[in-house]
Amino acid sequence: MMRGVRRVALGMAFSFFMLSLGLVYWQVVQADTLLENPANRRLILMENRVNRGGIFDRNGEILAQNQTSNGKKVRVYPKGEMYEPLLGYSSVKYGSSGLEGSTADWLLGVRNATPTQTVQQLFALPRQGNDVVLTLDSRLQTIAYNALKGKMGAAVAIDPQTGKVLAMVSQPSFDPTSLEENWANINSRVQERPFENRAFSLYPPGSVMKVVTSAALFRSGINTTDLYESTGSAIINGQTINEQNGKAFGWVNYNMALANSSNAYFATFGVQAGDKNFLSAVKGFGFGQKIPLELDVRMSSITKADKLPAKLTTNLLAASTFGQGEVLVTPFHMALIAAGIANHGVIMTPHLVERVLDPTQTVIFQTKPQPWLTALSKEEADKITSAMVTAVTDGTAAPGALPNVQVAGKTGSAEPGGDVPTHGWYIAFAPAEAPRIAVAVMVENGGTGGGAAAPIARQIMQEALNQKVGDKL
């Protein structure tokens, strides 16, 4: 009888021990993995006992912070809609989005938790979360936001040497203040799509794609100093390729073809270079690959069926060389492409989080710049830069010029399909000889890149270059 009781007791003790080990494993060892899952509502429910940390720009300006109002904890966003939807929101009722969601494990103090935080987490004790400092600069964000406001589109600015994202604006956006009360009204703006971050949305790139195609031309052995006669159109495999507005540019070499944005030149020599060289070039720039960032960026693609196909038909290749056909790219990716050319062909890993501070303001995480892709050789990057400078001094990119500064730029007017105006694109970096900033601006149905997007890019670059000596971006 006693032996049976002892066996039952030992069995219960062993079960309790294994249960305790399981709790410790899931609550402590696997805590980070579980909490990083955006589907886990515990991150939101933690808000009741954890004081979520603040989010700041690179200069210490408050972008999001908890405050107490009438005895109730509320999340406040001093900049209103300026950083939305990038910054996102945190709501017990509607969950979280944007950086509020992707950095929640830092903000709630559960990622790489200290022993004290681990104990507080295990026993559900109140605690203070960590502060997240972003790479974004409110001065550039303000310029970009005001310049783009009233339009539909996106603007992105990047430090080409480090991959730091200096500004990211998407319009139209929404004001996260009193989000739960205004939720229905924000959602009713269906055509504006205020929750959509257009910097991460896919669009046909139009002629800004020609900087990517340039690499294929160089690698095919084509002599880019040779002259080509632009007559207003070209016929390739039975397909008519028109210059914009049917304009004939006459005899042009590579530099002038990029400066004047000749579709016929790039289609003719792009087909001559072949689909293997073209697809190799686009792969080098990151098409068909996931961009490493704290947020999900939609993958840029060459065809609808395959983001990075093994081959292309002659007609599809011809259209793809100047950014039409089925090519789709995000404004964020185009900013990275511009930054890669500026950085002698090396695309740095982009990042939005500069550092994380614990409640004592000790740095517990710091992002270190590192390369992502080598898209071009230095010689290739220099050739494209030279042509982009010509585009600003003597071509379609002239509206992006700055006084006493050499700017490298490229325009794009992409046909989205249907009877609507083209999307206006502009990519650029400055100063061309020692770039400090690279930008991409896209205005939905804005018309020409020079008319719609270049003035916005120019304002962003001007503000960046106006920073005081020593106040480096």
Q: Provide the annotated active-site residues.
A: 207
| CB contact at 8 A, 363 and 245 | no
Query: Helix, strand or coil for residue 8?
Result: helix
φ, ψ for residue 50, nearest 5 deg: -115, 130
Nearest to 160 by CA among 341, 378, 376, 329: 341
Q: Residue 87 is encoded by which pair of tokens?
A: 């910054």
Contact, 61 vs 83, CB < 8 A?
Answer: no
Please give the distance of CA 65 from its chain centroid, rounded to a whole number: 24
Residue count of the chain: 473
Tokens 């339009």 label which residue?
151
Q: Which residues pair with 167 in a beta bridge?
A: 157
Spatial separation of the C-alpha atoms in residues 148 and 172, rounded to whole Å: 9
Burial 239-267 (b: 16+ CB within 10 A, else e): eebebbeeeebeebbbbbbbbbbbbbbbb
Which residues, 6+ apart, have CB-to-CB distance to 15 below 8 Å? none
- Between helices 210-219 and 275-284, what is the axis angle to 10°? 120
The CA distance from 59 to 354, in Å, is: 11
